[in-house]
Amino acid sequence: MRRLVLPVVLFLSACNQPDSDPASRSSTGASASPTVDPLASRDGTPDAFPDSQARPLMQAQVVLDRLGFSPGVIDGKEGLSTRNALAGFQEANGLPVTGTFDPATWEVLGRWQVIPATRVVTIPEDFARGPFAEVPDDPADQAAMPALGYASLDEKLAERFHTSVETLVTLNPGGFPAGSPEAEAAIASAKPAPAASQSPSGEATAHFRAGQQIRVPNIGNDRVDPASVDDAGWLLSLVMLGIGSTQPRVERVIVSKAKGTLKAFDAGGQLVAAFTVTTGSRHDPLPLGQWKVNGIARNPKFHYNPDLFWDASPGDEKAMLPPGPNSPVGIVWIDLSKPHYGIHGTPEPRSIGRAESHGCVRLTNWDAARLAQMVGPGTRVDFVA
């Protein structure tokens, strides 16, 4: 994702309110949704060739992500989001909450050891078509765009498989899936990964292309039932983010300022999901208290009012920003009863849990989309210290 330059929150510790007009919810700047997602997981179907590495940490991240305990960006590294995911998984399974891969946790995770860390997919023509365009930093220039979509196929693939472009490049030496004869030959000859290229129009064409076979993190829980989603734009977003349309129903959400986590509980009090979030800063602390979900705006437009931002650039003017995954609030806004506050996505997934927000609760786009499938009007949301 591009670096986030535009501030996305209000001066008084509040996010700016997106436009909840239903007409704005279907415009994402992407192509039509396929009836069957060719990139969806195919458990039980072996790859033509096995991965060249076991990748146990990535395999654990894949399992945690499938179960709703999000490790954030799946990269095979044990970072903050993975530790938070482990802590949530441990709590849900009655294990000592250590946030580490201790022996007891490895033993329980072993129930899903048959799930490979990675799989090989072929990039569909429709998926690779775009449109792609770099998102400018200036709000006025952003407002002139039809959508704040993906800048490149690389970026789109990384979001689809809950990972980073760097991880995808690592999984595909020389541009071929790790474990394939071509990849082994590229490694033996020390052939570098293909450099990202650019089209004559200035669009980034990236490392990957339509029809290419690549190895990706084996994310699952990505089945989308078109009959269960009545918003065409949201259906497309779920497919593009690899988020299944069927998720557990949540009655209570707890956001912890100190831990930087969001936990979701069902009607029986069982922890069913946990995400790493960014919750605020010294300028805009998280508003502690008990709130509730008012509603959900999917693929919302975004009102940018520089008068309401303490860190707005001089000369900025009011603007209505179009929807898209690179919107300041990502692909969804979960509106709360605390005026001007919400839970939303981000154009910068690697910043979650690390960079400060300005009061609202930010998640990766794929985690925000998943949470939006779990909550609804009236869901209780507690902001705690």
Per-residue pLDDT, 9: 33
Per-residue pLDDT, 193: 62
Nearest alpha carbon to residue 352 among 261, 285, 266: 261
At 1, list the tokens. 């994702």
Render pLDDT for 94-131 as a digit per residue (tens, 0 to 9). Answer: 999 999 999 999 999 999 999 999 999 999 999 999 89
- CA torsion angle for 324, 325, 329, 335 (degrees, to 10)? 80
Sign of the alpha-carbon torsion through 202, 203, 207, 208: negative
User: What is the rounded CA–CA span in Å between residue 278 and residue 286?
Assistant: 10
Render pLDDT for 185-212 as a digit per residue (tens, 0 to 9). Answer: 999 887 666 666 554 444 555 799 999 9
At 133, list the tokens. 């365009």
Per-residue pLDDT, 13: 35
At 371, list the tokens. 């949470």
In SS3 terms, the chain reads as CCCCCCCCEECCCEECCEECCHHHCCCCCCCCCCCCCCCCCCCCCCCCCCCCCCCHHHHHHHHHHHHCECCCCCCCCCCHHHHHHHHHHHHHCCCCCCCCCCHHHHHHHHHHCCCCCEEEEECCHHHHCCCCCCCCCCHHHHHCCCCCCCCCHHHHHHHHCCCCHHHHHHCCHHHCCCCCHHHHHHHHCCCCCCCCEECCCCCEEECCCCCCEEEEECCCCCCCCHHHCCCHHHHHHHHHHCCCCCCCCCCEEEEECCCCEEEEECCCCCEEEEEECECCCCCCCCCCEEEEEEEEEECCEEEECHHHCCCCCCCCCCEEECCCCCCCCCCEEEEECCCCCEEECCCCHHHCCCCCCCCCEECCHHHHHHHHCCCCCCCEEEEEC
Q: Which residue has the tokens 């990706």?
A: 216
Per-residue pLDDT, 370: 98
User: What is the rounded CA–CA span in Å between residue 117 and residue 134?
Assistant: 31
Residues of the chain with pLDDT under 50: 1-14, 20-27, 32-33, 199-202
Total-model pTM: 0.89
Per-residue pLDDT, 190: 77
Per-residue pLDDT, 15: 65
Per-residue pLDDT, 340: 84
